[in-house]
Structure 1
Amino acid sequence: MATQLDTLITEGLEEIFPSAVLLASIKGKPLIHQAYGKANLHTLFDLASLTKAFSTALLTACFFDAGLLQASDTISRFAPHSSRQAWHDEVTIEMLLNHRSGLPAWKPYYLNFSPEEAGSKETKQKLLGLCWEEKLLHKPRTQTVYSDIDHLLLGSILETVASSSLQHLFAEYIAKKLSLSSLQFSPVEANLAAPSGFCTWRQAPLQGQAHDYHAYLFGGTAGNAGLFGTAEDCAKIAAAFFLLDDGEDHFITSKTWKDFFSFPAKKQTQDSFTGGWNMPSAQDSSSGKYFSARSLGHLGFTGCSLWIDLQKRSFVIFLCNRLEKENSQEKMKAFRPRLHDLLFADL
């Protein structure tokens, strides 16, 4: 396997990403933890949409655990009065969490702002207003459409409920309890972070700033993106999941864990979500062919990914900065399942 893995990673370094870290554990035993290209094991990567899974989803679980929110709560009571829409009475917290609200996948709201407006309270309120006033594409709960807008709103709701920032909530509820020393919202020190491409909107190369436009406008902390971190800290989240799945309490109770995540008997034909995390589909999953139906994962636009197989007690974390390479998205899409299949083939 080592030769095949080296060949695959070399191909990736040449065509897809200049820096990467791979960390994998198979059947509870460490398999590999290695840096490639310009990275080292301590390099902070822009985790992009892994923020949805690590911060927004897990904070929602913590709020359920503490009785601060319920899955069935409608979002109407959190909407600003000036932005109220009829659909707010139909959409629940669970629908935002699992991308069943009916909202579009994404809208270029950032074009209403200049980069210089990033981080102000007024910018955040205006951008959230655009999210609250968005029109639905589908009736709530009828379709799964992976949506940044869902988690921008959900992150804001968490802040409203707790009267605190996502940055503080993540640090207190997640990072402290899991001893995550590197996972933090942007901006981070540039010399510690992998570069993440040139931003034409900001007219600047990015290193330590959130690549995501809307997270950047929020000041680097948002429900959809903004976290940076190392593979080692990502692995601590996987380890916590294994303990919870075994019935042990951790940052939430095992009862909340079992209520929060539900798994089908077999893989679904299309992408689906539970507890804000992706589950492997039967065909064309980024997890490849070998992850079981009791698996959870998430991807980031920057190239980062994590897949956890609860049944096989295995996980694969791959962090990279594919945005440094042009035209890398489709190549990255093909790379991920090849990597996972190679690591899991012996299972």
Structure 2
Amino acid sequence: MSRTKQRKAMQARHARWERNADVKLRVFHSPPLPETYSGVPVPTTARDFCKPHRKDAIHTHARQLVTAYNRKSLAHFTGPLHIEALVHHQTTFEPGSAVEILGLTYRKSVILIPFRVILDEQTNSPTLACEVKGGWQFFEEWLSIFKAPPNRSLRKNATQIQQQWWDKNGKTFNIMGLPVELRRLIFEQATCVEHFPIPYTYTDDVLSYCGRGAELSGRDNPRRKAEKKVIGTPNISLLFANKQIYEEIKSHLQYAATKAFVSEFGLGSYIHPPESSNMAGLLKLRHITLDFDDEEYVRFFGCSSALGRVDLAEDGGAHLLEKLPSLKSIRIHFKSRLPHDHWNSGLLCL
């Protein structure tokens, strides 16, 4: 295909992009498309761009502004803008620096835009500008000209709009583009908030951190028997997505996730793992839940079943908790309420 046909095809794609995305510009004309830039043929598709230089200050600043623009609307999930480099070279973010042409891509459309750094007279600071109609305009202001696609702006019904889009276009999105706080909430729900560690398997393997997940029922009414249903191994397929997700989920399972135990034996097995395992992991145990039977609570906390007096109680298993230096919280679940006449029978100590 000749250069003329390539240029016309690119301009046609640009026109379709504006029409489909409902983009309205006050002042915008795509600059003339050069055949070469710094001796390199100009890309015609998003795949033809090169990897930017790590010290390309103009490209880095433009990418930050484009990312901030994407996150202001559902374009962050649907069809985000991207800024690409045409050549691999170093630039400085100082007024008077050389002009650099970058490619703004939207799906498969490409717009070539010249960039330079100019001095903002109001703030007296260097600001990124792009060439528009033969003049220079602040790039951040130029991005604000774009309108979000219809029915996709973040307003009161943003949640419903997102759900409609996901139902129509598939329930996938760029999870790594979310803030780290939101990713933690997603990983927490995917791997369960509370875990039953697997006894005798406490190694450096993340699977032993996961254990088995659980869900509670009957907690809305204290007079009902509160049951805990084990729901099997949590969703660990996320661990194989990439290294960053693996590290974030592993950190959640080690630090934030609550470890639940249904017996004193299970707690002891977790605190006293085999000698070949990684004992350093115990230093990271911060939150635990005890879900024993009522009689086992009496034995665990050393309550005398005869007198109900703590000062005369025998040593129980509660000393195991002293081996957890980072422990911050203990939650106790009672499976049932004892009858009224049991309060004076010495079965419980407070």
TM-score higher than 0.5? no
TM-score norm. by structure 2 comes to: 0.19
RCO (CA 8 Å, sep 6+): is it higher in 1 or 2? 1
TM-score norm. by structure 1 comes to: 0.19
Higher helix share: 1
The structure that has the greater radius of gyration is: 2
